[in-house]
Structure 1
Amino acid sequence: MRMHQAKRSEYIGLERNTKEGSKPILRELKRNMIAYAFISPWFIGFLVFIIGPMLASLYFSFTQYDMLSKPSWIGLDNYVKMLTDDKRFITALKVTFTFVFVSVPLKLAFALLIAMLFNVDRRGVSVYRTLYYVPSILGGSVAVAVMWKQLFGSKGAVNALLGIVGIKGTSWVASPDFALWTLILLVIWQFGSPMLIFLAGLKQIPHELYEASKMDGAGAWMRFFRVTLPMLTPIIFFNLVMQTIGGFMTFTQSFLITAGGPLDTTLFYAVYLYETAFTHFQMGYASAMAWVLLIIVALFTGLIFKSAASWVHYESEGGK
């Protein structure tokens, strides 16, 4: 009888400990469910509006699809045609590569120059920083694109200024020799975003480093190359990645200002993709182009990350 009561007491104690031990687990599960409920709108949107369209685009890239009839499976024909039988695709690649490799370094160099000029404690400098940031907010808009087209047109303000000094200008946006450069100039003009990031990085550089370099006899150029640039390499790396990705996806400037012309000299990849999909209704071929662009961007981003080990210096790594 006593043994039976002891076993019963032991069972009740075990059951009580089990219930008490399960309460924290239930509370944690309840908290997690609440968190999942809050993030569910984003997660559902991510699946429906990003993952879903990406998978659909991947399927359409292997089909012939005009959005009006059912897609028909053609395998790798779109990719083969793209690489072997589409001269405009090759032209779009060349134009886009030229645009990215020229505009990104120039934009970053100009942004760094302006950031260094604004890295001073003077009255009213915050107003100038704001004013110089405005083009980055408006630079991709329709209004600015139209304005830029007017500025560099045959009767625009640029030619009016050149006429004052006796130079007869041309329609810069309609000239095969200059149209791409006008778009590059527009992108460089949108330097505000990387400028602010560079400015934030400059303010994090300890003044002691500059004072020590001055004591060692380093001039302004030496301080720039031996102190400023090494300390800014993580910021340069970030801006380089972001601007390179953005450069490959540039669309608005070419589409609104030159429409890919003249003679396809400003036929950016994104413009040709849009034209293929929504002008010629070759959605299957356009989907294949989109995936090729994704691969190109991923490759160049990967190369930048791969090269970072040799030129990006982090303070936590002791400058290595």
Structure 2
Amino acid sequence: MTTHTLRAKRRRSALRAAAFMSPWLIGFSVFFAYPLLSTVYFSFMEYDGFKEPVFNGLENWSYVFSAYPAFWPAMGNTLWLVMVLVSCRVVFGLGVGLLITRIRTGTGVFRTLFYLPYLAPPVAATLAFVFLLNPGTGPVNTILADLGLPAPGWFNDPAWSKPALTLLAVWGVGDLMVIFMAALLDVPKEQYEAAELDGASAWQRFRFVTLPNISPIVMFAVVTGVIQTMQHYTQPLVAGKVASGIIGNSGQQFEPGYPDKSTLTLPQLVHNLGFQRFDYGAACVVALVLFALAMACTTLLIRRRGGLLQAGD
């Protein structure tokens, strides 16, 4: 076989591979690479969506990090939700999954009851929680007052607004419950039997048998939870808007983050800067910060898991 024939064969193989990869390449280019490059480009521009963009160097970056007062509260709230909300969802989802796999009767009923809240639309679920946790007339605070317990301000109190959002997220933990149930049912029973013969307690069986077997699923839940929480937008926005008494389409101007910027997240900041203040350059800066933060957290988690696996081996 001549050199020319070998080159032609390799070229045909490369073209065939490119043809099979073309749907992914087109999707990656149109929906990821181009928006990312455009965001980087506009982050160095003064642009309001109407006039031609004008290069202004690092002014947008300097404004966001030093002059815009809402950036650092939004950053702190987003990181708080990533650490607390994701941890609570994973722990609660795993706990419910363990509980349902252990009970002998009514499994289908309990599985349905815990999964149904996940199907509730985010806006409707948030409205329901704002009503239930209303500090003046909500049934939750009414019951707490009847029991002689302190009644928090929930979505009207900066100290309790993020815990209230965490409760809302934990209430809709049905997706993680189903994933963990599938993983728990795949754990080999022989390993549990061997551990019992060795005299392992329930906690030791969970630690040394259950967790090692479901650790990839736990990592999947944590990584996807971090990415989803980085995009937390609808629930805090609706909760803050309803708790503040501003109704949609009422003509009133609403600055996200009520009360006292405690529910303000980075995605809300992107929307506020880009579509309410028409400062697309600053909005692109915040979007890039959010992207970098998500990439850093995801990479750290994956590398951490890789280090743990090597240590275990």
Q: 1:257 to 1:231 in 2, by over 3 A?
A: same
String of CA shifts for 1:144-181, please: whole Å, max 9, x gaps: 11111111112122123223324463542111121111
Residue type matched to 1:247 in 2?
T
| Cα contact 1:159–1:170 (8 A) shared by 2 | yes
Q: TM-score, normalised by structure 1?
A: 0.82
Which residue of the other structure, out of 117, 136, 146, is the alignment partner of 1:135? 117
1:152 to 133, 154, 157: 133
Residue 294 of structure 1 and its aligned partner are, at CA, apart by: 0.5
Structure 1 residues 230-309: aligned runs within 5 Å = 230-258=212-240, 259-309=256-306
Whether 1:56 aligns to 2:38 is: yes
Asked if structure 2 preserves the Cα contact closer than 8 Å seen for 1:63 and 1:73, the reply is: yes
Using structure 2 for the length normalisation, give the TM-score. 0.83
Counterpart CA distance in 2 for 1:284 and 1:205 is 50
Segments of structure 2 that go 5 or more residues without pairing to the other structure are 241-255
CA contact (8 A) 2:88 2:170 kept: yes
2:244 alignment counterpart:
none
Check conservation: 1:234, 1:312, Cα contact below 8 A: no
1:221 CA drift (Å): 1.2
Give the structure with higher Rg (CA). 1
**Where does residue 79 of structure 1 map in the other structure?**
61
Q: Measured at CA, do residues 155 and 60 of structure 1 come closer, stay the same or move farther in structure 2, by a change above 3 Å?
A: same
Contact 1:233 1:311 in 2 (8 A): no
Considering only aligned residues, what root-mean-square deviation do their CA atoms show, in Å? Answer: 2.9
Counterpart secondary structure, 2:70: helix
Q: Secondary structure at the match of 1:87?
A: coil
Paired residue type of 2:176: P
Q: Deviations over 1:45-68 (max 9, x none)?
A: 554344333322221111111112
What is the alpha-carbon distance in structure 2 between the residues aligned to residue 85 and residue 235 of structure 1? 42
Which 10-residue stretch deviates more, 118-127 or 190-199? 118-127
Using the TM superposition, give the Cα deviation of residue 40 of structure 1 relative to its aligned residue in structure 2, in angstroms. 6.2
Task: Answer yes or no: is the 8 Å Cα contact 2:152–2:160 preserved in 1.
Answer: no
For 2:81, give the aligned amino acid: F
8 Å Cα contact 1:65/1:282 also seen in 2: yes
2:48 is the alignment partner of 1:66? yes
Deviation at 1:227, TM superposition (A): 1.1
The residue that corresponds to 1:9 in the other structure is none
Q: How far, CA to CA, are the matches of 1:312 and 1:241 in structure 2?
A: 17
Aligned residues: 293
Tell me the secondary structure at the aligned position of residue 119 of structure 1: helix
CA contact (8 A) 1:237 1:312 kept: no
Structure 2 contact 269–286 (Cα < 8 Å) conserved: no
The aligned residue for residue 310 of structure 1 is 307
CA deviation map 1:259-287 (0-9, x unaligned):
41111011111112211111111111101
Question: Quick one: distance in 2 between partners of 1:170 and 1:181?
Answer: 11
Give yes or no for contact 1:180–1:266 (8 Å, CA) kept in 2. Answer: yes
Unaligned stretches of 5+ residues in structure 1: 1-20
Query: Which structure 2 residues correspond to residues 22-171 of structure 1 after superposition, within 5 A?
Result: 36=19, 44=26, 46-120=28-102, 122-138=104-120, 141-153=122-134, 154-167=136-149, 169=151, 171=153
Which residue does the alignment assign to 1:221?
203
